[in-house]
Amino acid sequence: MAAAAAVSPLAPKKFAEPPPIEGVRLAAGAAGIRYQGRTDVLLAVFDEGATVAGVFTTSKCPSAPVDWCRDKLRHGRARALVVNSGNANAFTGKAGREATEMTARLAAKAVGAKEDEIFLASTGVIGEPLDASKFDDVLERLAAQARPGGWLDAARAIMTTDTFPKVATATATIDGVEVTVNGMAKGAGMIAPNMATMLAYVFTDAAISAEALQKLLSKGVKSTFNAVTVDSDTSTSDTLMLFATGAAEKRGQKKAKKANGKSLKDFAEKLDAVLLDLAQQVARDGEGARKFIEVRVTGAESDKAAKKIAFSIANSPLVKTAAAGEDANWGRVVMAVGKAGEKAERDLLSIWFGDIRVAHEGRRDPDYDEAAASAAMKQDKIVIRADLGLAKGEATVWTCDLTKEYVAINGDYRS
């Protein structure tokens, strides 16, 4: 296996440990699924009464754990979450289904719950059978060790080609009661929208029904995890789940049954903030990334059209390699706008790199300054803006550059 990559230069400068959340306990351990000398299994244990919501990959070849979670989500209850790294348990046929069943059975026994209250995820190599017997004893031990806190250790356990653990936290108020929202994610490659775009888990002590949680999550994902891309590839295993322990009800919070109630306004905003923070961390850890790129499209025929154009720019290998080379090649943005398939008029299009307008009304800006444009491309964060001058549609997406390291990482991923 290739040596671990250096931490992305776009990583947060500090990794702060999120606070404990009442009603959830975490433990990370090593089952030797694929990696040696590191943790590769996460177990989260929830108190009785926890509710759950989730969104999953749109891939037509989903993993066995994705199928399992979709089926169990209808119950709306959660007692445990098991995530392993190193093996995706995807495209593994009957053996994959049997592995999920065995894992759920072992986890249910370890935490004293029903199997339909267990949620699973696997990430890693596709097409290799997962030996679920390796979880035997490991899950029993982790259940006994599970404690409040330990978010960074948990996030490390689910990493594959990630170079840093991804966590985020926020505090919200519901009915005058303070609640916490913590999240963790993994993802660095095979990242594209259509939600989810990796594995991500969000936890709160708020008391919210499963139905309301689902609506909040489905809405929040649109402008967060469905607005990032690294390489335009949607994984077989993409999973985003939200767990609410309900512990805040003991502190006076009235259980929220509807997502559109006024009491959840602050919570919804803080949830979206955590989702966006995690999603942007994924883009910042894009395999081999050296530039974090924000693409803003304005003046499009509709928001939907703007988003499609923004992704055309963000997913363009030519735009991404220009960013990697710090080349202010705005012609590649023109190309990406033109190929998107949405309405655009050449003589109305304007383009900016940072604050520098490089193209205007169908031609190079009259005041174009190559030195200033090049300086904008040398920043760690590059903002590319395209205004179509047609209407009021707008969208923002986030991505990273495409470097030689991306090819190296993916060229020997299984070796």
pLDDT at 249 over 50: yes
Predicted pLDDT at 402? 87
- Candidates 155, 159, 225, 231; CA nearest to 191 is 231
Domains 24-284 and 292-411 share a fold: no
**pLDDT tens per residue across span 53-90:** 999 988 888 899 999 999 999 999 999 999 999 999 99
Predicted pLDDT at 5? 63
Q: Give the CATH number of domain 292-411.
A: 3.10.20.340
pLDDT at 37 over 80: yes
User: Catalytic residues, which ones?
Assistant: 197
Q: Which helix (H) or strand (E) holds 152?
A: helix 151-157
Give start and end residues of each alpha helix (H) in 244-359. 265-284, 303-314, 317-324, 331-339
pLDDT class of 289 with cuts at 50, 70, 90: confident
Mean pLDDT score across all residues of the chain: 92
Predicted pLDDT at 1? 42
Min mean pLDDT across 210-214, 287-291, 295-299, 344-348 is at 287-291
**pLDDT tens per residue across span 86-125:** 999 999 999 999 999 999 999 999 999 999 999 999 988 8
Q: Give the CATH number of domain 24-284.
A: 3.60.70.12
* 287 labelled ligand-binding: yes
Q: What is the pTM of this model?
A: 0.91
**pLDDT tens per residue across span 141-195:** 999 999 999 999 999 999 988 899 999 999 999 999 999 999 999 976 555 555 5
How would you write 126-146 as a 3-class SS string? Answer: CCCCCCHHHHCCHHHHHHHHC
* 51 labelled ligand-binding: no
Where do the structural domains in the chain lie, given as residue ranges? 24-284, 292-411
Predicted pLDDT at 2? 44
Distance, CA of 98 to CA of 306 (rounded, Å): 43
* 173 labelled ligand-binding: no
In sequence order, which residues have a C-beta less than 8 Å from that of residue 253 and are 6 or more positions away? 174, 175, 177, 179, 206, 207
* 197 labelled ligand-binding: yes
Q: Name the CA dihedral angle for 204, 207, 210, 212, rounded to a multiple of 10 degrees.
A: -100
